[in-house]
Amino acid sequence: MKSYTEQLSDEELNRYRRQIILKEIGVEGQLRLAKSKVIIIGAGGLGSPITLYLAAAGVGKLGIVDHDTVNLSNLQRQILYSSKNIGQHKAVLAKKRLRGLNPEIGVLTNTEQVSAKNVKEIISGYDLVINAVDNIETRYIVNEACIFLKLPLIEGAIYHFEGYVMTIIPGLSACYRCLFPDNHEAKKEEIGVIGAVPGVIGTLQAMEAIKYLLNFGRLLKNSMIYYNGLEAKFREIKTQRNPNCIVCSKVKYDERK
């Protein structure tokens, strides 16, 4: 990854020129992206657009965590993969795809199943965590680890034609447990979804990540964006920390350096 003292090559200036010309980014912002380290938990319907857009934007180091393999029913929404990838590890395939898209970045993979025992080790050393999993239990596990390590977390989820995105800044924002205090694991059954819905939500998560890394725009740190694809509507819902939250109530905010 590049340091701030390094310069972009002519090839990089050409690759990223459409975002470099934005006053909010520029060359300095592009170098900052190159220095950034982001880990994405889940390389499925949400993880596909997240990783593709962050790789294309030039985020210097991406961590991809997913223990699953590709099956045929994934291909309706998980656009990282193709029919010839069935049976192969998603994380390994994602690395190959992302490096093909942008050889300037680094991609680290992990095929372990995330658990309370290994999650802190997995996410340590990154600047930002993005949750793109499809089960509630892992959401609580990742949320708690991020609060403990004081790592920012971008949370996203989908259900049928709906989804939401929010950014959790430990000690400042409501955490996942604040908003969903009871861990009622969903029934172990397939949930219907149109592939474009995780595309919308994952893209919003990628945008939140870039805003956080470059410190511009308004983050969803005190609200969530709720999307209803059937009604073609977005709605912003204000969020508030629970002063009695068992996970984050005693955590103090550390201002970014």
pLDDT digits (tens, 9 = 90+) for 50-109: 999 999 999 999 999 999 999 999 999 999 999 999 999 999 999 999 999 999 999 999
Residue 176 above 80 pLDDT? yes
In a domain, 42, yes or no: yes
The backbone torsions φ and ψ at residue 92, rounded to the nearest 5 degrees and listed phi first, read -65, -45
In a domain, 257, yes or no: no
**How are beta strands 106-110 and 37-41 bridged, if at all?**
unpaired
CATH code of 79's domain? 3.40.50.720
In a domain, 168, yes or no: yes
Which of these, 114, 250, 120, 241, lies nearest to 181 by C-alpha position? 241
The pLDDT > 70 percentage for the chain reads 94
In a domain, 88, yes or no: yes
Between 34 and 184, name the one with better pLDDT. 34
In a domain, 112, yes or no: yes
What is the pLDDT at residue 60? 96
What is the pLDDT at residue 4? 43
In a domain, 128, yes or no: yes
What is the pLDDT at residue 3? 46
Distance of CA 95 to the CA centre of its chain: 15
Number of domains in the chain: 1
In a domain, 206, yes or no: yes
Residues 6+ apart with CB under 8 A from 96: none
What is the pLDDT at residue 253? 78
Residue 257 above 50 pLDDT? no
pLDDT (mean) for 233-255: 91
In a domain, 255, yes or no: no
What is the pLDDT at residue 201? 98
Residue 2 above 70 pLDDT? no
Residue 140 above 70 pLDDT? yes
What is the pLDDT at residue 256? 58
pLDDT (mean) for 10-37: 96
CA distance 55 to 234: 26
Print the domain residue range for 180: 36-238
Contact 66, 111 (CB under 8 A): yes
What is the pLDDT at residue 186? 53
7-11, 97-101, 222-226: least confident range: 7-11
Residues 6+ apart with CB under 8 A from 219: 167, 169, 208, 211, 212
Mean pLDDT of the chain: 93
pLDDT digits (tens, 9 = 90+) for 143-160: 999 999 999 999 999 999
Between 120 and 184, name the one with better pLDDT. 120
What is the pLDDT confidence band of residue 184, given thresholds at 50, 70 and 90?
Answer: low
What is the pLDDT at residue 96? 96
Residue 211 above 70 pLDDT? yes
Which of these, 24, 96, 21, 25, lies nearest to 59 by C-alpha position? 25
CA distance 99 to 220: 30
